[in-house]
Structures are given as C-alpha cells and as structure tokens.
Amino acid sequence: MSQSPLRIGLLGLGTVGTGTARVLAENADSLTRRAGRPLAIVAAAVRDLDAERDCDTSGMRLERDAVAVATAADVDVVVELMGGTGAAREAVLAALEAGKPVVTANKALIAEHGPEIFEQARAHEQPVAFEAAVAGGIPIIKAVREGLAGNQITEINGLINGTSNFILSKMASEGLDFAPVLAEAQQLGYAEADPTYDVEGIDAAHKLAILAMLAFELPLALDRIRTRGVGQVEAEDLEAAAELGYRIKHLAVARRSERGVELCVEPTLLPEQSYLAKIDGVMNGVIVAGSAVGSAGFYGPGAGALATASAVVADLIDVARGRVLPEPGPGKTLPFVDPHTVVSGHYLRVQVLDEPGVLQTLTGLLADAQVSIESLVQKELGTPAGWAQIVMLTHEVSLGTIDQVLVRLRDLPCVQGEPVHFRVSARED
C-alpha cells in the first residue's frame, strides 16, 4: 500500500465542506485502507479566514482564492463544494486545465455547464466525479453508471428534493397549507431563505437532467424538462387525494420509449401503497427500471452535511484508486416526446355553483372531449355559501386534451376560480 497521501484542495468549508473534513478525520484509518493511501486536506478556499468552523482546520492552509487552491502545486485532487455556477465553474475548469481530478457535489454546475466541463476533462485526461450531486447519501450515480450497467434503463422515477418532500408530507399529515409549512422548513434549515430552487422544482430538474444523461446516454437536457412547483398544491388536494387512495408527491420522471424521451418534475398523484408514496419528510427515493433487473429501489437522506460528505468521500476513494469512469460523451441524438402527447390519468378539482344541472354540465364537457371519468367526489363548501368542490380522476388521456378541457372549464359561468390539475401515476412499485 502506498503511504503517499492523496492531497486534497477543498473549495468551500460550509455545511458539506465541514462534513467532508469531519468524515475524513474521523474515519481516517478505514479510509486509508479503502483508498490504498491516506486522504488529507492540505488547502481550503474559504470566504472568511477567521470564521469558526465545526471541523479541525489545523492541518489546512486556508485561502480566499479558490482558483489558487485549485491549481496549487501541492494539491492532487480538487473537491468543489462552493455551490453556484460562477466562481465554481471558473475554479473547476482551472483545476482540470492544471491536470487535477475534480470531485463535486454541485448539481447546478453539472446540469448547466456539464458539456464544457466534460470537454475540458477529456482534453486534459482528468476525471470529474459527481456522486454527491444527486440524492445526497444515496449512491444513485454509481448505481446507474455501474451497478445497472448491464441494463437498458427505460425509466427513472424519483423524489429527489428533500425540501419539497418535507413540505408535502407535513401538509398531508397535519392538514396544513403551503405557506406555514414552508416557513417551518426554513426555520428547521430544510429550505433556504429564498426557496425558489427547491419549491419550484429547479433543483430536482438539475438532478433529473444528470440522471437522464447517464441512464439514456443523452446530452444534458435541462431545457426539455417540464417543471411545476409544489406551491400549486393545496391542503384540500392532499385531503381529496388521500380519500381516493393516493398521495401527492413532487415526482421527477425520466422515461424512454419508442417515441423518445419524456422528462418532467411535477406534483403527481401516486397510489398510496406504492414505494415512493410512503417516503416522507426530507428523505429521497428513486426507482430505476431496467431491461434485466426489472425495478430497483433506492432510499436514503438526500441532503445534509454527513450524508452528502459520504458521497464526496466515496468519490475521493475512487480517485485514489484510479477507478473513476470516463466523462460522459456528447450523447446520443434521441427525440424528446412532446409533453402534450403524453398519456396518463389526471386529477381535476373545480369549484362550482352548488345548483341543479352543474354536475351534468361538467361531465358533459368531459364527455365531449372524450375524457372518461374514473372517480368523482362532490363536497359542499361552508365558505363561500352556495358553492361546492368537484374532484375528478380521469382515465388515461393526453395532457393536450386535458389542457383543452381546462380552458373550457375556466369559461363556464358555474365555475369559480382556476381549476386545479395534476397528473396521476399508475405505477404501484
């Protein structure tokens, strides 16, 4: 066993950076055996040199200049944990140009600038490892690239943002509205002060773009992902879904068929007994469907200092052993399915005048559009008086047809406000 340490330049000593430093220090002996050599942080780029940190920095050289750390002569591998896509991109490209492998947990960096970074990596024959960029402590990147390499992967379904899963779980279990639960998530540290990336599905879309790239050998396709946020889900939707035997989850889907590739992140009704429907709180879950394995499920913490550090350190061991896979290439040219042609069940909730003939009007409108109703529930509303809620589940029909139905519903004099619509998944696994 070589005793020459793998010298690490750490870019960022925030939550994940300090977690990584702690894991490396606390598990030093076992990690040395697994890596074949010691793993040692020799330098770290930080914003504030004097800030207190929840890790031992006595053996590190602290600098403000990330590029200087990334290109330092005494650094063998660069670990980028800064976040963002500006300074992080500059430092990662500089590290690769200097001939240094890169480990990153930055999904936005990979999803938005992956082609440029991978091209630089190939040009300088250096690996970029990014296990920690998707689903935190779940080794889903390694599973897709290595463990399931013998399969033609046809579909990935996942809950890959812990903040949105916490919000929907809390709303469902306690009958609460979105705003107070979001505020609680922020107080607990599960959501940022600006929660846009999480609650609007942008974070999950970044992760889905990476998974689809690896599973289907695609170019990164962030701009082809249909994305809807969890702020559109109300307490009455979660209650109605439960009465009908479903849970609403912020589901990320990558599906390949003869027609092409479908990519979406949106609130979706899942059968209550399905694997993903049972995953609550900040936990993540992913199901991968493959030609040989059938369906394989993965579950675990999607974020947090030590969970994410677990994935970062696993990548460092691979770098030390020289077993990181080559960078993804430009990818196959595959068509993308127009989301309006995708067929599924649908959930519709409409507030209507509680008077004779209204229900017949609604069902007649759906019948005219050749939309078949699977279930229908009507509830009287205490406020405002004289109004009722109609909740319908449809049989499978295209999204384009439902969009047309929604336009016609809005125009009905008996309908108040905006009709609510979510997709329904029939998957039981």
Task: Render 351-379 in DSSP notation, one character per residue.
Answer: EEE-STTHHHHHHHHHHHTT--EEEEEEE
CA–CA separation, 76 and 150 (whole Å): 33
Count CA within 13 A, CB hemisphere, residue 345.
Answer: 17
Exposure of 45 in the CB half-sphere (CA atoms within 13 A):
24
Q: Which amino acid, 204?
A: A
Q: Tally the C-alpha atoms within 13 A of residue 240's C-alpha that lie toward its C-beta.
A: 23
Cα–Cα dist 368/345, whole Å = 17
207 is catalytic: yes
Q: Which of 100, 107, 170, 207 is catalytic?
A: 207
d(CA 210, CA 218): 9
Question: How many Å apart are CA 288 and CA 158, to the nearest integer?
Answer: 9
SS3 348: strand
- Dist CA 1 CA 343 (whole Å): 56
Q: Which residue has the tokens 């974020």?
A: 303
pLDDT at 334: 87
Q: For the whole model, what pTM was predicted?
A: 0.95
Residue 228 has pLDDT above 90, yes or no: yes
Query: Is residue 228 within 8 Å of 253, Cβ to Cβ?
Result: no
Question: Which residues sit opposite 79 in a β-bridge?
Answer: 10, 103
Q: What local confidence, expressed as pLDDT, does residue 382 receive?
A: 65
Mean pLDDT of the chain: 95
* 254-291 tens-digit pLDDT: 999 999 999 999 999 999 999 999 999 999 999 999 99
| Tens digits of residue pLDDT in 136-166 | 999 999 999 999 999 999 999 999 999 999 9
Query: Residue 2: its pLDDT value, please?
Result: 53
3 state SS for 20-74: HHHHHHHCHHHHHHHHCCCEEEEEEECCCCCCCCCCCCCCCEEECCHHHHHCCCC
- Domains of the chain from N-terminus onward: 6-133 (3.40.50.720), 140-301 (3.30.360.10), 340-424 (3.30.70.260)
Q: Which amino acid is at 344?
A: S
- Kindly tell me if the per-residue pLDDT of 63 is higher than 60: yes
pLDDT score recorded for residue 383: 63
Task: Give the type of residue at 384.
Answer: P
- Encode pLDDT of 335-369 as tens digits: 999 999 999 999 999 999 989 999 999 999 999 99
CA distance 21 to 39: 10
**Cis upstream peptide for 384 (omega within 30°):** yes
pLDDT value for 426 = 79
pLDDT at 62 over 70: yes
Would you say residue 61 has pLDDT above 60?
yes
Q: Give ∠ CA 288-261-253 in degrees, rounded to 5.
A: 40
pLDDT band at 380 (very low <50, low <70, confident <90, very high): confident
The total number of residues shown for the chain amounts to 429
Distance between CA atoms of residues 251 and 403, nearest Å: 20
DSSP structural state of residue 153: E
Q: Alpha-carbon distance 213 to 134, whole Å?
A: 12
